[in-house]
Amino acid sequence: MEYFLQQLINGVTLGSIYGLIAIGYTMVYGIIGMINFAHGDVFMVGSFMALIVFLALLALGVTFVPLALLIVLILAMALTSLYGWTVERIAYRPLRGSFRLAPLISAIGMSIFLQNMVQVAQGARVKPLPPVITGGYQFGAAEGFVVNVSNVQIIIVVTTIALMVAFSLIVSRTPLGRAQRACEQDRKMAALLGVDVDRTISLTFVMGAALASVAGLMYLLYYGVIDFYIGFVAGVKAFTAAVLGGIGSLPGAMLGGLLIGLIETFWSAYFTVEYKDVAAFSILAIVLIFLPSGLLGRPEVEKV
């Protein structure tokens, strides 16, 4: 039983990270109908930004962990958002309104560029970070089993929940959110009504990048090691999560992320580690066969 609980906690933590990245995919898809293939690599850049800022702070003598983490969070979000914004401006905006394959290839090119740029700039070796947040809670010792919940895991889940709430509020209550939803429904009409479509789309990318950078920081803290390739793997999984949950739906992205994280964790724990990805992908295929728009997706009905 405690094994199950432990895996549950681990799975939720992993799922939260995937969910944060998946939201970026789903928001961009919702607003411009494109699969941002480079998003996973923006996540990777975010984790590198977090590492670099952290090391810089350490070098500057800032050692009080909560303060350092706060500064890392803010700076990493800002820097990664800049990357997200730039990627959109260079690779996607010139192709907007064009058909869907061109931005896809452009995105793949951008993904290759980012991965290799980081590899050349920072080196191909893995980058470890000594554990920053340690400790945790153990419970059940009295009852005879042991379940560990580390502080990192708590922080990850709490942060994710907070961000989810914040973003839901932004989307439903603020003018930006309204503008986003308007652009999702009918871009031309929104533009005619005075919505600054370019800015709305740029902000969507920025928001996605910011969330990805938080995920990057979480990943760094949780696993303690990053390299230039984590973007691809996490990206594909997060994209799978977004589709599983129903692409275009924010709660769907989070739900998909959690599911993928849980499937991966449980499969590795109870069956084999090697095939955990196969399990996740297979579940995706099966779900889509029965629910072609994903779990929470809105089925698109084409008017005949």
Partner 1 sequence: MSDPHAGAAAPSVFGVAFKDAAFAALVALGLAAPMLGLVTVQTQSGIELEQHWGKVAIAVAIVFAGRLLLNLTLWRPGRKKSLSYVPPKVEAKLARFAKYLAPLAILGAVVMPMLPFTERYAIDLGILVLTYVMLGWGLNIVVGLAGLLDLGYVAFYAVGAYSYALLAQYFGLSFWVCLPLAGILAAFWGVILGFPVLRLRGDYLAIVTLAFGEIIRIVLLNWYWFTGGPNGISGIPRPSFFGLDFDRGDDGFAATFGLDYSPLHRIVFLYYLILALALLTNFVTIRLRRLPIGRAWEALREDEIACRSLGINTVNTKLTAFALGAMFAGFAGSFFATRQGFISPESFVFMESALILAIVVLGGMGSQFGVAVAAVVMIGGFELFREFSDYRMITFGLVMVLIMIWRPRGLVSTRSPSVFLKEKKAISGSLVQEGHG
Contacts of partner 1 in 118-147 (CB under 8 A): 118, 120-123, 125, 127-130
Q: Which two tokens stand for residue 26?
A: 């789903």
Question: CB 250 → partner 1: shortest distance, Å?
Answer: 17
Total number of residues that touch partner 1 (CB under 8 A) = 72
Amino acid, single-letter form, for residue 242 = A
Which residues 214-233 are close enough to bind partner 1 by CB under 8 A? 232
Among 243, 250, 259, 296, binds partner 1 (CB under 8 A): 243
Which residues 52-71 are close enough to bind partner 1 by CB under 8 A? 52-53, 55-56, 59
- Cβ proximity to partner 1: between 142 and 304 the closer is 304
Residue 278 CA: distances (Å) to CA of 290, 292, 294: 19, 20, 18
Question: CB 255 → partner 1: shortest distance, Å?
Answer: 16
Q: How far, in Å, CA of 215 to CA of 197, rounded?
A: 27
- Cβ proximity to partner 1: between 142 and 301 the closer is 301
Burial of 172 (0-12, 13-18, 19+ CB in 10 A): exposed
> What residues pair up with 277 in beta bridges, in sequence order?
none
Render 58-121 in DSSP notation, one character per residue.
HHTT---HHHHHHHHHHHHHHHHHHHHHHHIIIIIGGGTTS-SHHHHHHHHHHHHHHHHHHHHH
Question: CB 105 → partner 1: shortest distance, Å?
Answer: 5
Question: CB 247 → partner 1: shortest distance, Å?
Answer: 7
- Cβ proximity to partner 1: between 153 and 213 the closer is 213
Stretch that binds partner 1, among 135-143, 180-188, 211-219, 274-282 (CB under 8 A): 274-282
Which residues 278-297 are close enough to bind partner 1 by CB under 8 A? 278, 281-282, 284-285, 288-289, 292-294
> Taking CB under 8 A as the rule, does residue 48 contact partner 1?
yes
Which residues 25-44 are close enough to bind partner 1 by CB under 8 A? 29, 33, 35
Contact predicate 214/69, CB 8 Å: no
Q: How far, in Å, CA of 209 to CA of 41, rounded?
A: 10
Among 136, 172, 275, 298, binds partner 1 (CB under 8 A): 275
Which residues 75-114 are close enough to bind partner 1 by CB under 8 A? 79, 82-83, 86, 90-91, 94-95, 98-106, 108-114
Q: How far, in Å, CA of 198 to CA of 159, rounded?
A: 30
Among 4, 65, 70, 116, binds partner 1 (CB under 8 A): 116
Q: Which two tokens stand for residue 69?
A: 């983490």
What is the dihedral angle through the alpha carbons of 25, 232, 47, 33, rounded to the nearest 10 degrees? Answer: -20
- Cβ proximity to partner 1: between 72 and 163 the closer is 72
